[in-house]
Amino acid sequence: MNRQDAQSRALADLDPDATAAVLALAGDIALVVDESGIVRGVETATDDTSFEGVAGWVGQRLTNLVTAETRGKAEALIREALASGTARRRQLNHPNDSGVDVPVQYTAVRMGASRRVAIIGRDMRALASLQQKLVEAQQAMERDYWRMRHIETRYRLLFQMASEPILVLDSATLKVLEANTAAGHLFADSPHRLTGRTFPFRVEPRSRRALEEVLSNARATGRGGEARIRLEAEADEFTVSASCFRQDASTLLLVRFAPTSAGRSSGRSVVSTPPVSELVEQAPDGFVVTDLDGQILYANRAFLDIAQLTSEEQARGQLLGDWVGRPGADLPVFLTMLRKHGVVRLAQTAARGTHGAATEVEVSAVWIPDGELPCIGFQIRDVGRRLAAGPQGALDLTRAVEQLTGLVGRVSLRELVRDTVDLVERHFIEAALELTGDNRTSAAEVLGVSRQSLYVKLRRHHMLPASAAPGVEEPE
């Protein structure tokens, strides 16, 4: 008999309670279970209340003493120990009356030929508490990080949008650390190329002494007052002010240039306003301004190309629906969406030219109903080239239904159903007329309606001249 067999037999001769008491010294809790998983002995290493009610575990199945999600691991722990003699560590959670589960990391060893398993556990609550504190600290750091990122974003946005030129300097070397867009305009260079240069530069020699005195006072007292200076090749004077602030371990200077009252009165502006009207006129997308009824007040060159018009006068005073959207269908939908939400975004429809050219377009719109001149602005983008090829009628119907679907929750169900029925009815009438070569009598037969009913529907959908009488069929 070798030494290992002798030790196994010695352990096997111990009763379960004694075995559990010995093994508990190696951990916080020890269990002895039989091959069927029933607890035969239990012992804790301390007398505290860390494991309340463990005496009642004897005689119960181990899987009934752990939470549902760790029962599989308990079975695997016993099965592995019986098969190989030892089992790798697994964490089991025990339910507690307080509502907080008790995590315990267990390992198991088979006890000789008795087919019993000794399970030694270590209480993981202290480690779990540390892990929870670590997670909370990390989350707090994440929140602080994103808060600082948001603050930095707001600062940079305000810094770049400021109309007055601003420079941030290192107080020791007077090198430019940051410059906003207005400073780039003032010094006739891009802001990133100003970074790293030693200030002052492009300042008239007669103004350098006053500027240096302002910077010196700012370093010494925090605020340096103001001074009037002139820049090279600049006719206007500027009022320069400087203030000192700390960032990390560095001292920085914030230098601001403000035009004097004379410069302001002369109409000089550091950042000029771009010619918006010229940009709109030359834009590649159509732009149309209408009144609240859809009558055109202004149209740019791109829209005139879409509508196949030679001058703006041909479009002015006409309805936008004469060229954009299906007659009597799309423009009322756009106006309804504007009244409900104030904006239309990327609505897909069709545009027709005066000479018959047709293309698919995306329409976005916004309105100003309460201004001096109430109006609606439409942006019309030609997207015919990028649309996938397919049956035109089905494509139009699908897009129209998708647009109406986007109104769910904004328009009443009755209006949605009415508009959808009108769109579908118009689509099938167009398909029947196309199938029969525009023969209305044959189209009525195909649709299963009388000729008079078809005339009524054609007139309702603006597909028939108002002069046509229902009882007199026009020449086919």
CA 220 to chain CA centroid, Å, is 47
Per residue in 64-117, pLDDT (tens digit) is: 999 989 999 999 999 998 888 888 889 998 888 777 788 898 989 888 777 888
Average pLDDT, the chain: 78
Q: What percent of the chain has pLDDT over 90?
A: 4
Task: Flag whether pLDDT at 269 surpasses 60.
Answer: no
Which pLDDT does position 436 carry in this prediction? 75
Q: Give the closest residue to 320 by CA, choosing from 341, 344, 340.
A: 344
Q: Over the stretch 382-432, which tens digit does the pLDDT of each residue have?
A: 886 554 444 455 546 666 666 666 666 666 777 777 877 888 888 888 888
Query: Cβ neighbours of residue 379 under 8 Å, at least 6 residues apart?
Result: 285, 286, 287, 363, 364, 365
- For the entire predicted model, the pTM comes to 0.35
pLDDT higher at 345 or 23: 345
pLDDT grade for 153, boundaries at 50, 70 and 90: confident
Q: Which residue has the tokens 């002015």?
A: 316
**Share in percent of the chain as helix, strand, coil (round to 5):** 45, 25, 30
What backbone phi and psi angles, to 5 degrees, belong to 439?
Answer: -90, 110
Residue 470: the pLDDT is: 47
CB-based contacts of 113, cutoff 8 Å, min separation 6:
8, 9, 12
pLDDT at residue 263, rounded to an integer: 46
Q: Output 273 or 328, whichever has higher pLDDT.
A: 328
pLDDT at position 336, please? 78
- Residue 3: which pLDDT band, with cuts at 50, 70 and 90? very low
* Side chain identity at residue 51, one-letter code: F
pLDDT band at 453 (very low <50, low <70, confident <90, very high): confident
Nearest to 180 by CA among 201, 151, 156, 203: 156
- Copy the structure tokens of residue 441: 């009598």
What average pLDDT does the segment 460-467 reach?
70
How confident is the model over 320-332, as pLDDT tens digits? 888 887 666 677 7
**Average of pLDDT values for 122-148?**
85
Handedness of CA 35, 39, 41, 46 (dihedral sign): positive
- Label residue 262 by pLDDT band (50, 70, 90): very low
